[in-house]
Amino acid sequence: MSQPLATVLEIAARCRLNIMISGGTGSGKTTLLNSLSHFIDPDERIITIEDAVELQLQQRHVVQLETRAANVEGHGEIDQRQLMRNALRMRPDRIIIGEVRGPEAFDMMQAMNTGHNGSMSTVHSNSARDALDRIENLILMGTNNLPMKAIRTQIVNALDLLIHVERMRDGVRRVTEVKEISGIEGDVVTLGNVFSFVSHGQTSDGKLRGAFESTNFKPSFFPRIEYFGLAEAFMEALTAGAIAVQN
């Protein structure tokens, strides 16, 4: 990623935006999630939920929950949804799920909607738009009586930022899309572009050339950035990204 993009992501983590990181297998989702976690305030209480502990948070108040498979008799299984419900009773400031892959997505959206700002997770997808479709399908796994409009409204109210990472054909892992969840038009969740990687061909040794382009406008979550006193730094980073494209 470029330096302006790194600054935007750092500010997003510091300002307790709800963030979903999407990408394919081996694209760097967990690595990026680990990196963003370094900008969480050390006094915040964090609950992590994972199938296998991979996150390496450095804060003082971290509770790590791990799923458990059933025994040979088929008993004793503890899944992510059970851990998610128990995490809500532990007075967390933030909840971080290593990867949403089932009906716990429904509980995650509810937690983001009920005061646990700054929560983060990852999801497998091929693009930021595909990530929204996958989250919708995972929520449907958790509840059969919610209309699609209600599910999409919940997603819009819960998520602030979608970050898509990709291992590209030259072998380099890049942040290719950073999208804000801006609202609903009709039955479609609308995404606003914050940063995107635009390829400009390749070098003689096969490496992709490109630029991380920003759109120099205030996203819908900008009042949160102002609340934390980082509005000027945020807009400077967006402007630097836009100027780099023009040059």
The three-point CA angle 14-58-5 to 5° equals 35
CATH of the domain at 121: 3.40.50.300
Query: 182 and 194 in contact (C-beta within 8 Å)?
Result: no
Q: Name the β-bridge partners of 211.
A: 198
* Structural domain span for residue 171: 3-246
Number of domains in the chain: 1
Q: How far is it, in rounded angstroms, from Cα 189 to Cα 160?
A: 12
Q: How far is it, in rounded angstroms, from Cα 118 to Cα 73?
A: 39
Tokens standing for residue 135: 């989250």
* pLDDT tens digit at each of 247 positions of the chain: 889 999 999 999 999 999 999 998 888 899 999 999 999 988 899 999 888 888 888 888 989 998 888 888 878 888 888 888 888 888 888 999 888 888 888 888 888 887 788 889 999 999 889 999 999 888 888 777 788 888 888 888 889 999 999 998 888 899 999 999 988 888 888 898 989 988 888 887 878 888 888 887 888 899 999 999 999 999 999 888 766 544 3
User: What's residue 85's pLDDT?
Assistant: 85
**Selection from 162, 139, 50, 159 nearest residue 98 by Cα:** 50
User: What's residue 245's pLDDT?
Assistant: 47
pTM: 0.90
